[in-house]
Amino acid sequence: MEMDGNAVLAKALREQGVEYVFGIVGIPVVELSMAMQAEGLKYIGMRNEQSACYAAQAIGYLTGKPGVCLVVSGPGLLHVTGGMANAQVNCWPLLVIGGSTSEDHEGIGGFQECPQVELSRPYCKYAARPPSVTLIPLHVEKAVRLACYGRPGASYLDFPGNLLTAKLTEDVIPSQYVHPVGPIPFPSPSLVEQAAQRLFSAKRPLVIVGKGAAYGRAELQVRQLIHQTNLPFLPTPMGKGVVPDTDPQCIAPARTLALQKADVILLLGARLNWILHFGRAPRFNPDVKIIQVDFSAEEMHNSVLSNVAIQSDLVPFTEQLIEELAKKTFRFDFRNEWWVDLKSKCDKNRKMVEQMALNTETPLNYYAVFHHLQQYIPKDAIIVSEGANTMDIGRTMLHNKLARHRLDAGTFGTMGVGLGFAIAAALFCRDRYPGKKVICVEGDSAFGFSGMEIETMVRYQLPVVIVIVNNGGIYAGFDKQTYDDMRSGGDLTQVTPASALTHETRYEKMMSMFDMKGHFVRTVPELQTAVKEALIATDKPTIINVAISPQADRKPQEFKWLTESKL
């Protein structure tokens, strides 16, 4: 039987276990999208290439198998480099497939001609153009394997138009093996013993649970470790839910105290980057001893010299550490001064936040919105969040009970990821966990990056609840009188603050484009009614547009959230 390059590529993807494709079609990949659907792949047509790339990597994180982002040549590929970089920095598996100008048009001004393989290399682990149709399966296997093995990341495959339309008989295509399950690195027993001894000797121990623990499916072992030892733990933003945020041993409200005073820190799948202030003083105890456990050898000693550095999958490491600590009958005493200090600080900060949350005067503040939203959303919902204050305050107020149930701007701090992530999460829930809800909480600025993906959600009947926390600006906005006064005279490009957005934009009216209803909310009762109504929907998205005080801010902080350079 005769096959063309489109059919060979689609079949190779299916054979490697790829399930989802997100993209925008055009020359030369229209027929490829059809071939993918003919092979049984799930194709989701997006409205923006960046969003398609964000959705593909989010499905990779949720399933452990890379999603495909399919784009056209030239500008199409260039538009996804931001998404490729995000996947690479976030360590999420992704495969980008780009069409490109036919090889016989290269060098003479071909349509959208662009050095795509070379441009992709800085943003991925593997970038290649199969030199012939017969070699397509080989490159697909390698691209999928490298996206998953070791530290996960992005792969790119380039397909000129003439390669996709070239035909040959099926019998000359060499069969490819499905890439095997990745090797699991086990820890050195002596290093596990050293880690156990460090914790046993600690006066102020702390466990930091990172996104790597979530991706590594280590939640059962990490929970057992925490509960058998009585150790306090602090989750990173996407490490939330590995152990439930509501667990009494979660000391997130005392984050600053915990980092400053801990004398031994067990780092489980978290990196000492900007999110954790590089592990350095003054945010950390200058004499702290770090036990670093990571799948990736490249991460060891990256910012500070770890006292015990262990390259290992987190599941076998945690299992062995539990055994070592059991031999020492280690169980940290809740009456210990360290626990007393942590609980006291947690209680103090919770009361401060509670006072702000219970202030329901209009316009509302962030804390009131999130407090009452938390009361109504399901405890097992996947929460997608992006924005500035919206994301930062939201991660402290909106709790996660389960691992891999929070998706946000991540290590790269990328804005515009929200709706793409939410589309991936909704597809994942529909296929794996029917009835599970996806709550997408957006700042109004962040929503503007990808707002038209609401049409994608409508087209594919995805019941995402989008909550826009609308303060009319980036970080902060302005009340209507101030906004109007500032713009009352002169060149608007000179007098409109760079951080300002239009006051109380009615984003919820976008739903009327589809003869559907959105919600504009000013008060807590209106928010409660809107959320309850939105959660009933099983086949459509909705927008809840919450107008808050333009000057609403987070509670006072002992340190700025971002450690500043000293140079």
pLDDT of residue 45: 98
Helix/strand number for the chain, H first, E second: 22, 19
pLDDT the model gives residue 137? 96
Q: Residue 26, Cβ neighbours under 10 Å: how many?
A: 15
Name which of 97, 84, 105 is nearest 136 in CA terms: 97
Computed from CA positions of residues 73, 75, 79, 84, in that sequence, does the dihedral angle turn out positive or negative? positive
Strand partners, 67: 94
CB neighbours (10 Å) of residue 524?
Answer: 18
DSSP per-residue string spanning 355-392: HHHT--PSSB-HHHHHHHHHHHS-TT-EEEEESSHHHH
Q: Where are the alpha helices (DSSP H) in 402-547?
A: 418-432, 444-450, 453-459, 480-486, 492-495, 524-536
- At residue 237, the pLDDT reads 94
Cβ(291)–Cβ(198) under 8 Å? yes
pLDDT at 453: 98
Region label for 274, one of left (φ > 0), alpha (ψ between -120 and 50) or beta (otherwise) = alpha
Class of domain 189-345: alpha beta
Q: Distance (Å, rounded) from C-alpha 173 to C-alpha 203?
A: 63
pLDDT value of residue 485? 87
Quick one: tokens of 262? Answer: 């801990």
Contact (CB, 8 A) for 366 and 548: yes
- Structure confidence at residue 561 (pLDDT): 59
Task: Give CA angle at 437 (213, 42), nearest 5°.
Answer: 80
E strand or H helix at 117: helix 116-120
Distance CA 205, CA 240 (A): 19
Structural element, H or E, at residue 12: helix 5-15
Domain boundaries, the chain: 2-172, 189-345, 359-547
Count, residues in the chain:
567
Tokens 């709790």 map to which residue?
A: 399
CATH for 359-547 is 3.40.50.970
Q: What is the pLDDT of residue 106?
A: 85
Whether 189-345 and 359-547 share one fold: the answer is yes
CA 333 to chain centre: 35
Q: Give the pair of three-digit tokens for residue 79.
A: 């538009």
* CA–CA separation, 226 and 230 (whole Å): 6
Please tell me whether the peptide bond between 187 and the residue prior to it is cis, using omega within 30 degrees of 0.
no
pLDDT tens, the chain, 567 aa long: 889 999 999 999 999 999 999 999 999 999 999 999 999 999 999 999 999 999 999 999 999 999 999 999 999 999 999 999 999 999 999 999 999 998 889 888 988 889 999 999 999 999 999 999 999 999 999 999 999 999 999 999 999 999 999 999 988 888 877 877 788 999 999 999 999 999 999 999 999 999 999 999 999 999 999 999 999 999 999 999 999 999 999 999 999 999 999 999 999 999 999 899 999 999 999 999 999 999 998 889 988 988 999 999 999 999 999 999 999 999 999 999 999 999 999 999 999 999 999 999 999 999 999 999 999 999 999 999 999 899 999 999 999 999 999 999 999 899 999 999 999 999 999 999 999 999 999 999 999 999 999 999 999 999 999 999 999 999 899 998 998 888 887 899 988 899 999 999 999 999 999 999 999 999 999 999 999 999 999 999 999 999 999 988 776 666 665 676 665
C-beta of residue 504 within 8 angstroms of C-beta of residue 470: yes
Termini Cα distance of the chain: 66
Q: Are 205 and 264 in contact (CB under 8 A)?
A: yes
Would you say 245 and 401 are in contact if contact means Cβ atoms under 8 Å apart?
yes
How many Å is the Cα radius of gyration of the chain? 25
**Which CATH fold would you assign to the domain 2-172?**
Rossmann fold (3.40.50)
